[in-house]
Amino acid sequence: MTPEPPAIEVSGLSYRYGDRVALRELDFSILPGEIVGILGPNGSGKTTLFRILATLYPPQEGRVCVCGHPYPERVAVVREKLGVVFQAPSLDKKLTVYENLLHQGHLYGLCGKELALRIGYLLEVFRIHDRARDLVENLSGGLQRRVELAKGILHAPELLLMDEPTTGLDPLARREFWSFLQELQAEEDLTIIVTTHLMDEADRCDRLLVLDQGQLVAMDTPAHLRSLVSGTILLIRSPAPNELASRLKETLGREVLCEDGTLRLETEAESSQEEVTQLVGELLSRFRDKIESLTVAQPTLEDAFIRLTGHRFERNEQRENHG
């Protein structure tokens, strides 16, 4: 038996918009059945990579293979294997849920009983059966996203690609969406690739491809990435952050990151709770007048990102746009 080819294999992939380099020499592969998150801050190249994998942009340099078929050479075969969910809504809001799915089916050459069965099955899976005859515009954001998902996998693709699919959803709807994804992965034997800038989503992926300024800085499981940071994290707000940062550096001999008026430092690897408490007490007594607040935190994926890149994830505190 020949082994199954990777779902995605990319080597030496670069992409530019004019002079602006959006992706730099990416090499990675994705196994069949994985949920892989493409994690990176705004502008890191996620959508560009998504568009290339979704066969909207041909690669300018390097090789891309989907289920063993090279893109762009075999674009028609590659497209059959792919289901795509875009960041912007793609449903026709003046049509019903059922009509939207029906048209999508026709687009892929499905019809009749086969199509009706498939739609019925997906409506069940996504628990939107009772809303099938409703206009899409009358559904909540969370339900509309489920219909998008049903639309994306209507033709039973091997690989599902999604660009920030939970944009605009509240945390509850987001968690629900992810439960559906995990169910799908198990039931449809699907490889799922999803871009995100949200750490809670990233944590639910099997592996993360971490992008920063168009470069692949890591590809590993969330647990492995978090374990890059073994100490405890101290976050200090200060009225004089730069001065405090340099004094802390002198005193502790450790790197102190300072952004947006908050200092972030990692204690010695494997410090005990007593050692952390002692350090906090010491900092508070020595630098009382320069500390507004001090928070003790366990390392997160964000800390792993800082470790990998030397800077914070969202540098100007970009917030998600709920709308």
Which residues lie near ligand ADP (CB under 6 A)? 17, 20, 22, 40, 42-48
Six token digits for residue 36 = 């892989």
Shortest distance, position 57 Cβ to ligand ADP, whole Å: 10
**Helix (H/G/I), strand (E/B), else coil: 112:** helix
- Interacting partner of 3 out of Mg ion, ligand ADP, none (Cβ under 5 to 8 A depending on kind): none
Closest CB 260 distance from ligand ADP, rounded Å: 20
Measured between alpha carbons, how far is 87 from 19 in angstroms, rounded to an integer?
25
Q: Can you give the binding site for Mg ion, defined by CB under 5 A?
A: 46-47
- Decide whether 86 or 98 has the Cβ nearer to ligand ADP: 86
| Sign of the CA dihedral with 247 first, then 250, 253, and 258 last | positive
Q: Which does 20 bind (CB under 5 to 8 A by kind): Mg ion, ligand ADP, none?
A: ligand ADP
Report CA 297 to chain centroid distance, whole Å. Answer: 23
Task: Please report, to the nearest 10 degrees, the dihedral formed by the alpha carbons of residues 97, 99, 103, 108 taken in order.
Answer: 60
Q: Which is nearer to ligand ADP, 71 or 126 (CB)?
A: 71
Minimum distance from CB of 54 to Mg ion (Å)?
Answer: 12
CB of 177 to ligand ADP, least distance (A): 19
238 touches which of ligand ADP, Mg ion, none (CB within 5 to 8 A by kind)? none
Sign of CA dihedral 205, 38, 152, 12: negative
Parallel, antiparallel, or unpaired: how do β-strands 82-85 and 293-297 relate? unpaired
Q: Shortest Cβ distance from residue 196 to Mg ion (Å)?
A: 10
Cβ burial of 196 (10 Å; 0-12, 13-18, 19+) is: buried
Q: Which is nearer to ligand ADP, 148 or 164 (CB)?
A: 164
Q: What angle do CA 46, 50, 54 make, to 5 degrees?
A: 175
38 vs 128, beta carbon nearer Mg ion:
38
Instruction: Name the helix (H) or strand (E) containing 104.
Output: helix 97-107
Q: What residue number has its CB nearest to Mg ion? A: 47
40 versus 165: smaller Cβ distance to ligand ADP:
40
Shortest approach of Mg ion to residue 278 CB, angstroms? 44
Least distance in Å: CB of 253 to Mg ion? 39
> Where does residue 140 fall: left (phi above 0), alpha (psi -120 to 50 degrees), or beta otherwise?
beta
Using CB distances below 5 to 8 A depending on partner kind, what does residue 144 bind out of ligand ADP, Mg ion, none?
A: none
CA distances from 182 to 36, 44, 200 (A): 12, 26, 14
Nearer to ligand ADP among residue 47 and residue 104 (C-beta): 47
Q: Which is nearer to ligand ADP, 42 or 230 (CB)?
A: 42
